[in-house]
Amino acid sequence: MKRFTNARLALFGLAISLSALASPASALTNPYAKGADPTLTSIQTDGPFAVSTQSVSGWFAGFGGGTVYSPNTPGKYAVVAVCPGFLAGQSTVRDISRRLATHGFVVVTIDTNSIFDYPPSRANQLIAALNKVTSLTTGPVAGKMDTSRLAVAGWSMGGGGTMLATGMTPGLKAGVAFAPWAQSNNVGNSAVPVSYLGGTADTVAPVPDHAQKFYNAMPATTKKMLGVIQGADHNFPQTADQPASYTEIAWMKRFVDNDVRYSQFLNGDWRYASFASNGPF
């Protein structure tokens, strides 16, 4: 049997202590941090959590119904509601939302009451969906929701609805607006961190007329970023294999899970034609 002298034991203990110090503080002390240290590769693909799906009715709940994606692993997870755009259904935001769920979130993609609903209505429906889903007591999601950590995301008019929802619901932890379109904003006093993501080829919601204006309207003291993807048109959020997807994962991890290990991915990269933020985060 191998024996350790007192000196060796002391060195061994020091090595363990140094190893612990080398680990990110968030992973050691943050109860919401999950999984191994992330890499750019790991957030560009499905995460470590297998997920189940279940339908949720919006009948008398204030929205058009939806699909809940929840991790199979026992535990408590933040809840994110995701809204599609004008004339679109929840299938258009399915892939990007399911991927977010695989990184450790309960995610509900919603249908709106009408495909013609404008951003103010979509904002209300996002909040209604959060209220409905967090009250579920059956199905795979039962018992897995941390109702103190809620967030919203959306595309096009759903992105505009996301912005409006963060402006009227200060208890939200974060929002991500993909190619947002809206006729007005209410974020002049908002304290909810919001990431705006657009594309250089978007002619439906051109960045200067929408995402850039919304970003500028937010207080300088509120965490915010604007990433403009080179060559992306208005439909970029319909696939999970693009930089807005892994930026969303990093944004939600940083501000909903309070996991600073993901801050490194919120500085922009070569895929963005332009990038602005009031980070570092």
Catalytic positions are: 156, 202, 234
Name 3's Cβ contacts closer than 8 Å, sequence gap at least 6. none
How many Cβ atoms are within 10 Å of 184's Cβ, its own excluded? 12
- Cβ distance 244 to 252 under 8 Å? no
Q: Extract the tokens encoding 8.
A: 């060796």
User: Rounded CA gap, 92 and 83, in Å?
Assistant: 9
Query: Which has the closest alpha carbon to 128: 145, 146, 113, 114?
Result: 113
Q: Which long-range contacts (CB under 8 A, 24 or more apart) does 28-31 make?
A: 30/257, 30/258, 30/259
Residue (of 140, 187, 135) closest to 165 by Cα position? 187
